[in-house]
Amino acid sequence: MKTVVYFVLWVVSLLFSSITHAQDFNGSWTGGIYGMPLVFEISNINGQYSAKMQSPSQSKTYLPMNSIVVDGNQITMLLDAYKIKYQGELVDDKLIGIFTQGSGSGKMILEKKEYVEVKPKRPQEPKAPFPYHIEDVVFTNPKANDIKLAGTLTLPKNNNNPAVAILISGSGPQDRNEELFDHKPFLVLADHLTRKGIAVFRYDDRGVAQSQGAQKGATSKDFATDVEAAITYLKSRKDVDAKKIGLIGHSEGGLIAPMVIADNKRDVAFFVSLAGPGVDGYHVLLPQIEKSLRFQGVMGHQLDFEKNLMDAMFLKIIDSKKLSSPLLENELVIFMKQLVANAPDVIKSKYTDQVISALSKQFSEKWMRFFLSYDPAPNLSKIKCPVLAINGSLDYQVIPEINLPGFETALSKNKDVTIKKIKGLNHLFQNAQTGSAGEYGQLEETIDQRTLNLISSWINSRF
């Protein structure tokens, strides 16, 4: 799920070594790591070098390097806040060297050229003309100060009063297409379902794109009221079947949907969970973090230390329900510094004061505090409508071996439950090699066709 803990820019690279005559480092240098481009702008003013770095697929902002040292054909650049270091050697208008971030390192080659954005191929992204009706709408959430939320309703032609699915996005600010890594999963899903005769309603999260409100300070429980408002809106329409309104939630959306259903049983006809959590946030995040560290090459004692560090942090957060967020943040800073004080040097070099401060702030926010403690089982057990719960076997964010059994247990009294683990798919339901987040943007596929067909056929067989 997108409830992954983002420690820093996640990058690794490649090494070469060579010797050549000295040249000027001044200019724009471009390279790529796992399909993620990096750009360094290096300036030389009166013999004094300065540099800044950009990760254009993540942000348009340049980050100033803290230091840059040039010695003949050798260059070293440091970005302390993200524990980034690049050491390279100039060889025929190329910098060949080692890129390091935290404990991970590898080879990276930078070429002396301007960065040119290359639009990745997304063959599944639907193009006009569309064989269905598209309507942009605005609806109101009376439980959130009457904020206006903007969305799109797609209606199949020649199908009066069809079943309709509301799409609920994963964690973090998402637009109505759930756009990330140049993919638009909800656009692809909506197009497929509508072509199969199922209406689809998708909307911008509060505080995103054309929707009012704010993400900051809101929890999954708050986002559930946005879904309730969407249901109320659809019930007011005459061109969809109010008795066939269902919820399709991806990642955190699969956590939010059961909250809504538990309180609105008569208003929801079906539920599809796409990599939704089946256990509490503590048991979602710890395995996720361990898998993420392994993807970064962290092993042995360092892996054990970092797992224990996060475990201790999460337990402290769960046990600090009565503390305000500012007080918890301060306590987490002190707590983390104490834990790191006696750690190996490789840990100390990674968990700098800046990193500890950033993590403590993130972990003390209301969303994280709610997510860590929230157990979906009680609300899942209240669901009586048909349920389809799907995970990819390579999903490292919501690990299927941990979460699908949670669905199976909580839904044991529900008579219409289908639980599927689909081989070879990652958290976004792409066919993948490892399942790591580094693959998401590289893969041209947006959603596996088997998964799309499973969802549409499952809904149509019941409605």
Looking at the domain assignment, is residue 16 inside a domain? no
Its pTM stands at 0.82
Task: Check: CB of residue 329 under 8 Å from CB of residue 360.
Answer: yes
Residue with tokens 């247990």: 409
What is the domain range of residue 35?
27-112
Task: Check: CB of residue 76 under 8 Å from CB of residue 85.
Answer: yes
Mark the ranges of the chain whose per-residue pLDDT is less than 70: 1-23, 34-35, 102-106
Torsion angles phi and psi, residue 104, rounded to 5: -100, 140
Looking at the domain assignment, is residue 346 inside a domain? yes
Cα-based angle 376, 406, 296 (whole degrees, multiple of 5) = 95
Where a domain ends, among 112, 142, 165?
112
Alpha-carbon distance 297 to 142, whole Å? Answer: 48
Write the single-letter amino acid at 202.
Answer: R
Alpha helices (H) along 151-202:
185-195
Task: Residue 374: name the closest of 299, 248, 437, 281 by CA.
Answer: 281
Question: Based on the domain organization, do 303 and 274 belong to the same domain?
Answer: no
- DSSP annotation of 144: G
Residues 119-162: pLDDT tens digits? 889 999 999 999 999 999 999 999 999 999 999 999 999 888 99
Q: Which residues lie closer than 8 Å to 304 by C-beta, 6 or more apart?
A: none
Task: Check: CB of residue 251 under 8 Å from CB of residue 2.
Answer: yes
Task: Residue 428: name the closest of 197, 206, 188, 95 by CA.
Answer: 188
Task: Check: CB of residue 440 under 8 Å from CB of residue 426.
Answer: yes
Question: pLDDT value at position 22?
Answer: 39
Alpha-carbon distance 224 to 211, whole Å? Answer: 15
Question: pLDDT value at position 35?
Answer: 63
Question: Based on the domain organization, do 234 and 306 belong to the same domain?
Answer: no
**Partner residues linked to 94 by β-bridges:** 91, 111
Percent of the chain with pLDDT over 90: 75
> E strands, 223-377, where?
245-250, 270-274
Residue environment code for 415-425, b if the CB has 16+ CB neighbours within 10 A, otherwise e: eebebeebeeb
Question: Based on the domain organization, do 37 and 151 belong to the same domain?
Answer: no
Question: Based on the domain organization, do 359 and 406 belong to the same domain?
Answer: no
Looking at the domain assignment, is residue 4 inside a domain? no
Question: Based on the domain organization, do 388 and 245 belong to the same domain?
Answer: yes
- Specify the number of domains making up the chain: 3
The CATH number assigned to the domain holding 98 equals: 2.40.128.20
